[in-house]
Structure 1
Amino acid sequence: MKKTILLVGWLLAACPAAFAQTHYLESLKLENQQVSKNGSSVTVRADIVLDEMELNRQQSVRLVPVLVSADGTRQQELAPVLIEGKVRNKVTERKQVLGEVMEEEGTVRLRRVNGEEQTVAYRTETPFAPWMVNGRLEVRGYVTGCAECSEGDEILTVGEVLPYREPVFALADVMQPVEEKVKRRAEDKSARLEYRRDSYAVLPEYRTNRAELDSVQHSLALVKENPNLTVTGIYITGYASPEGSVAYNERLSQRRAQTFADYVQKRNKELKKELWHVTWKGEDWAGFRRQVEQATDWEKQREVLQMIDGCEGSQDDCEKQIRASLSANDYRYLLDELYAPLRRNDYRIEYTVRNFTPEEARQILETRPDLLSAAEMQRVADSYGRNSDDYRKVLRTALRTYPDNVAIRHNLALTEIQAGNYDEAITLLKSTQDGASLNLLGTAYFKHGDKRQAAQSFSRAVQAGYAPAGENATKVKEVLELLGE
């Protein structure tokens, strides 16, 4: 796409050098001027109006447009225009006939007829270089007299060329996380009680059972004694390890789950009976496989995993096959180390949490952020001000608590961009699929200097349904074309 950039300020406020003896440039007029970048070249166009120039018959003015970098360290001279007085023009023509004059390629030469209207339709091209962006155009005039001697130089600063200003992108403002109508929470735990052989009675003083039961009671106390929480259900699920028959282990897991539930329920009588729910699963083969996967130092690991994966039909037959393949020591290891964690009761405590004021939420955030909703955390963050360190600190806590919350992630990335932390914003957003967040990722990439990644992110944002990213994608495309990247 060809992009044309109009020169700014070709109003001629001539600035001749202090030592200049002539002032021809201030009599020039430049009209219909344009500087444009077309692919790998820059085109300069202008109509140079000479109507008001009164040129000495013996003199010539060599006009040289020059592109100069913004810092003045680089420049590129363009094709010159040679304007000659009547006598000087005749001398030049005579020398051309004699082969004494070699004009620079692209030079436009004409005789000035004082008092008449004359216009030079100037057009030239030069290869583009990045330093030309935000540069300036000067017109330098070199006046030569009858004896080929210099009679003064003039410089006219025309104005800025190929101006580039970093685009301002359309961004979604802070998103508001969805409010939780009811804040439902749960604690998932496991109680690995030890039982005497073929027994399902809960024996508090048997081996490590006291510590396990105290842990269960502590988990319940943390919920039921917290005035901000309301218990809505306790779900107990019993499991067994694969040794023995499937039918036997089904009954065993049922009885152990029920006796465990009875034991705990008696010690928490304030919790209504309808809150308790007991189920059982029998043999836990999925858990068995996980245990074997973790036994990386066991030489039988691969063999047992293959037998588990190849098990079809009767689980009793599979268990017998595994047992038969192991030595006495390996089977003892299986029973004591890999089966033991499978003989357990999982329990889940479900509860609701009341809503908190921003002041209350500030205090709770330090100890139990999981009791706050994402919306409550956002309100705490807002109370500190969006550009504050505390705002970002609260949102980081919120994101750790709710890593899948699109609004929290977006808001944190937005404030990181505003703080100039583009690396952090990219890390936060690089896996996002949300349109507004992809648009934000494009902005972070652009600010970081990766314009092509920015273009890709804006394009993905459009595909994800975020329409404003289309305008941003166009801006990046124009920048890439201008800068030649």
Structure 2
Amino acid sequence: MNCITNFMKRATTIFVFMLSVCAVAYAQQHPCFEVTIDQLQKHDDCVDIAYKVTIHTSEVSDCESVLLDFYLEKNEHKIDFKPILVNGQSRNRTYKRGVALHNLQRNYANADVISATDPDTEIVYTDCIPHEEWMNGSVLYVKQAVWGCGSQLTEKIFALKTLTVPPMKLVDPVVTVVEIVPEPQPQPRVKNGVAYLEFPVGRSVLDLSIGKNLQEWNKIIGEIRQIEKDEDARIISVEIIGYASPEGTYALNERLSRERAKALSNQILLFGNLSLSPDLVRSSSVAEDWDGLVKLLEERPLPYQHEIMRIIENIGIFDGREKAIMELAHGNVYRTLLKEYFPKLRRTEYRITYMGK
């Protein structure tokens, strides 16, 4: 009895040892298959996959089954490819019987099933799957599941290759220089004129019946109307500038030049029979036109001209400039200015600004 008991213990120990050896052995890659990766690379908008699986049927023992699952995975994303099932001779008979009796095939419906009685086989897998962003850096794996004698199961996952994503080609930008020539913007045009209007002494009422006032008036209105009649023209402003000569007090000259310019502006708006908006007509004044006198003296020199120029340059208006000129040549120079030069300083300038061709 003791002999039988000892024999059973030794048999059990040997059986457990054999199972352990089998499990350790198949924790490594099973010798029945080899995988050659030909291509795993992104190309344009797809991923090209090509690998070859060589099955050595003689390496599968009679009671073994080896299932090879291929898949591409990264994090929670995964794509499965066609599995391969390799059966030993006895296991293949069991597999076929299970298929016939229990529809076992549904578990491996898309698998390539190979028997140990078949010759060595090469299975080539090629595909082009649409590329998705998560696939960058993904890995092609094969999961090896081995059912050994006694139906014990060992599993092992092998990383085969990481997806290659070629670097982006940097294309030198083609720079085309296009010279944009802006269309010339229309510039305002200006028409200047001078009118010599006569006013009663010390007053600023414009009387068209005096002297050549009507003629000067018609000249101003005629030029404004001519621009208004042009369909391509648009008046921007009409500026009236009144000038006074230096004789008399500065305060009086300032008031008269200002009021006379304003009188002409009002006359244009009220009686000019024009389409001008009131805000387009403006008036300004120059109380004593010493700059105009200098210009006249340069055009028409007279005795003591240099002395007059020196006085204008060095003595201020309110510091006795006019009195200093009066004292030249016992007043003869000043009388000449009063008669021949000052009347030309008492004038009205007009400036018409408009847009047009």
Structure 1 length normalisation: TM-score? Answer: 0.34
* Larger-Rg structure: 2
Greater relative CO (CA pairs within 8 A, separation 6+): 2
Give the structure with the larger strand fraction: 2
